[in-house]
Amino acid sequence: MDRMTEIPGDRTAAKFAYAAAGLGVVGVASLGAMYAVEVPKGGPFVFGTINDAVGGVFGLAVIPVILQIHRRIPPGRAADAGKWLVPAACAAGSASSFLLIARKLEYKPSTAISLAAMTVQGGWLLFANRALLSSKGYPEDLARLGTAIGAGLLGALPVAGLAFAEQLPAWLRRGVGGAGVTVVAVAWTAWPYWYFLAGRHLSHVPAGKRTRRFRPLRPTG
């Protein structure tokens, strides 16, 4: 299925999806800049603060999108639980970012909460998109990308943790842990594109009209 079956609320959710995609790109760029520029120098972590702020807003922006996609999942105990668990995790991750900026929460507990929220969202991406992969009213490209990102996050996050366990041998931290970090980085970098793709499908604008919207005007006369 190339097109998404429209249900009430899709077009509003599309706006949040586009916003989440843009915030996600800024988040990826700011985190990359922090590790490339500020971490080697030990500060001043301006990019880190930008990343925390953007991450906090991102966590709130994705909630309407998640709820709208979740409405399409066949009902069941897991689906019903996810409807409340995933938005709560997003809100908790968002709050931890803002509390870190306000210096009401230390870096380590804030990071732990953010990682837990990311894990829950990764689980939702995997569960929701696998459940909708064979659905006639859900785009296959969105389902496959979401499944891949969710599987990458869930599978690689525990492995990536080995890279930061200083008590382990260096070869294990750099080899196995480093591979996990790489997979997480790829999945996390692709995450904003999933929201962009979700926004495009939720907007229900035909591909031809999207193309014509950006076509330059031809001179007359």
Q: Is the pLDDT of residue 217 over 70?
A: no
> Does residue 191 contact residue 145 with C-beta atoms inside 8 Å?
no
Domain regions of the chain by residue span = 10-202
Could you tell me the end-to-end alpha-carbon distance of the chain, in angstroms, rounded to an integer? 44
Q: What is the pLDDT of residue 1?
A: 55
Looking at residues 163-179, what average pLDDT do you find?
85
**pLDDT band at 18; cut points 50, 70, 90:** very high
Q: Is the pLDDT of residue 181 over 60?
A: yes
Inter-axis angle of helices 107-132 and 140-160, nearest 10: 140
Residue whose C-alpha is closest to residue 194's, from 28, 6, 8, 9? 28
* pLDDT value, residue 221: 45
Alpha carbon 196 to its chain centroid, in Å, reads 10
Helix (H), strand (E), coil (C) string for 11-67: HHHHHHHHHHHHHHHHHHHHHHHHHHHHHHHCCCCHHHHHHHHHHHHHHHHHHHHHH
pLDDT score at 158 = 86
Which of residues 8 and 134 earns the better pLDDT score? 8
Which tens digit of pLDDT belongs to each residue from 131-143? Answer: 999 888 899 999 9
Tell me, what's the pLDDT at 210? 55
Q: Decide if pLDDT at 213 tops 70.
A: no
What average pLDDT does the structure give for the chain?
A: 89
43-47: average pLDDT: 90
Q: How confident is the model at residue 177 (pLDDT cuts 50, 70, 90)?
A: confident
Is a pLDDT exceeding 80 seen at residue 116? yes
Report, as an integer, the average pLDDT of 111-135: 92
Residue 189: pLDDT above 80? Answer: yes
Bigger pLDDT: 39 vs 193: 193
Question: What integer pLDDT is reported at residue 46 of this predicted model?
Answer: 94
Encode 21-37: b = buried (16+ Cβ within 10 Å), e = exposed: bbbbbbbbebbebbeee
Give the mean pLDDT of 188-207: 91
Give Cα 124 distance to the centre of its chain: 11
**pLDDT digits 0-9 by tens, 55-97:** 999 999 999 999 999 999 988 888 888 899 999 999 999 999 9
> Of 67, 198, 189, 66, nearest to 139 (Cα)?
198
Whether pLDDT at 214 is above 50: no
